Structure 1
């Protein structure tokens, strides 16, 4: 099942031919976390799986649907740095996820498809990093690798936008607009093995990244095992599983597109409107 959010607070199932509004099947008030978060917290995925649920729900003209981020404010966004050896090599640093561990990104950095990444600095390189995103479906704490996928609801596309500067990863990757997600979350049953998916990324017409998740150092089950040994994973948490080689600088007016096999295609723009020189940033120095 392919789930998306439109009009800010409407949850839909998207098929190859139609968009089905299932918001009324997920009770509860509107919140900044959105209707998909409500579904996950109430464990209502089985409700949508019932044939009569989709049969009796209203259809929306696909041409009139503008998708937004499926999880606009997840409780946690967990990043996996240096999780492809070829990316480790291109960054000229021998450390991998085994040495770096995990990092967190601010939930306020999320945007949806066709929105714009805003470059904060005019003179510091900012890169695209295309990644498979894992959406947690039920609470996970100290889960084994063998049981890890039982805690997954589905998968999505994630762009982990990154400034190449001296600050900690959570600072360099948490600017507003630095985590495009979507447009869909595809349920685990439709994706199958998350560790054997093709991943591609383009900037404008240039192919920058082309790899497979089979080349990850820590597989999806191992990432979940590791993350859940450190922190409790909650429904709606997103794990960005790391990026392959091919990261590169972004510029004003660029268009980023990424695809993950069986998961979908995410596209966003880039703007430098309001960008400032790095030396003018707040937080610099000791004063």
Structure 2
């Protein structure tokens, strides 16, 4: 089943199940919100992370054509976005990195960087390089702490696409990747039973229609279970938190007016545009520090 967060015609945030081209409004069955949590997070808590069970009975629910609702980020209010650096060997090579995830651990992106598919990535500076990084991400279904890789599947509510936009340079990763709008995510949260085997998934990223990234998810250095085991050993993960798995080779510079799309087998297509409107000069001096990205986009491997 595919789930999505959306805004109703009345302007209220809700959560729905996608059936064909219609959104069935599950928010109408949730208890009144006194928690301040998003509809999706309340749905996860109501069903202990079991989203397939949340859509067992759709009879009587109001429905809308998906073309008539405003899509929101699949989770509008994660308590954290956890990201995996250098989790593909080909990306390690193109960035001339001397280490990968098993030495680097993970980093955090600000929850305020999350936006929905179809929205705009706003570049903050006129004098820095910004790159696109397409990634597979997953959403935590219930509180996870010190779990084993063998138990990881029972803590994952579903999978989605994510763009880990980044400013190149020597500043800390969490700074360079946390600008507002730097985490487009969506369009849907797809339950593991519908996604199937992760080893069969293929990730592709286009910029202005040109294919830049083309990778098999099976090429991850730390796969999803190992990554979740490690992250949960460091921090408590809450229902609705987003963990993103890292990007393959093919990152490259983007600028004002560019369009980006990320597509993952069985999960969907995430799209965003790029704008440099209102960008200013960067106040920090890290431009010539840090990992050195390739001057030219790494060639897409031949299949």
- TM-score bracket for the superposition, by shorter chain length: over 0.9
Is the contact made by 2:91 and 2:249 (CA closer than 8 Å) also made in structure 1?
Answer: yes
Is the contact made by 1:136 and 1:238 (CA closer than 8 Å) also made in structure 2?
Answer: yes
User: Deviation at 1:55?
Assistant: 1.8
Is the contact made by 2:170 and 2:286 (CA closer than 8 Å) also made in structure 1?
Answer: no
**1:241 and 2:245 aligned:** yes
The superposition leaves residues 61-117 of structure 1 with CA deviations (integer Å, 9 ceiling, x where unpaired) of 233122111111201100000000000000011210011110011000001011110
**CA separation in 2, counterparts of 1:274 and 1:180?**
20
The superposition leaves residues 130-189 of structure 1 with CA deviations (integer Å, 9 ceiling, x where unpaired) of 000111111111111111111111001110000001100000000000000111101111
**CA separation in 2, counterparts of 1:274 and 1:93?**
33
User: Deviation at 1:192?
Assistant: 1.8
Is the contact made by 1:153 and 1:187 (CA closer than 8 Å) also made in structure 2?
Answer: yes
Aligned to 2:290: none
Segments of structure 1 that go 5 or more residues without pairing to the other structure are none
**Alpha carbons of 1:61 and 1:217: their partners in 2 closer, same or farther (altered >3 Å)?**
same
**CA separation in 1, counterparts of 2:67 and 2:241?**
30
Aligned to 2:2: 2
**1:20 and 2:18 aligned:** no
User: Deviation at 1:30?
Assistant: 7.3
Q: Pick from 232, 242, 255: which aligns with 1:228?
A: 232
Q: Pick from 260, 267, 274: which aligns with 1:263?
A: 267
Is the contact made by 1:32 and 1:72 (CA closer than 8 Å) also made in structure 2?
Answer: no
**Alpha carbons of 1:20 and 1:237: their partners in 2 closer, same or farther (altered >3 Å)?**
same
**Alpha carbons of 1:200 and 1:38: their partners in 2 closer, same or farther (altered >3 Å)?**
same
**1:115 and 2:100 aligned:** no
Segments of structure 2 that go 5 or more residues without pairing to the other structure are 288-303
**CA separation in 1, counterparts of 2:182 and 2:140?**
21
Give the SS at the match of 1:224.
Answer: helix
Is the contact made by 1:5 and 1:36 (CA closer than 8 Å) also made in structure 2?
Answer: yes
**Alpha carbons of 1:69 and 1:30: their partners in 2 closer, same or farther (altered >3 Å)?**
farther
**CA separation in 2, counterparts of 1:107 and 1:30?**
21
Where do 1:104-253 residues align within 5 Å? 104-253=108-257
Give the SS at the match of 2:253.
Answer: coil
Moved more, 2-11 or 151-160: 2-11
**CA separation in 2, counterparts of 1:95 and 1:283?**
20
Is the contact made by 2:21 and 2:65 (CA closer than 8 Å) also made in structure 1?
Answer: no
Aligned to 2:300: none
Using structure 2 for the length normalisation, give the TM-score.
0.88
User: Deviation at 1:193?
Assistant: 2.1
User: Deviation at 1:48?
Assistant: 2.4
The number of equivalent residue pairs is: 281
Is the contact made by 1:158 and 1:180 (CA closer than 8 Å) also made in structure 2?
Answer: yes
**Alpha carbons of 1:260 and 1:31: their partners in 2 closer, same or farther (altered >3 Å)?**
farther
**1:49 and 2:58 aligned:** no
Using structure 1 for the length normalisation, give the TM-score.
0.93
**CA separation in 1, counterparts of 2:103 and 2:150?**
23
Q: Which runs of 4+ in 1 moved over 3 A?
A: 30-33, 44-47, 280-284
Moved more, 121-130 or 188-197: 188-197
Give the SS at the match of 1:55.
Answer: coil
Moved more, 91-100 or 63-72: 63-72
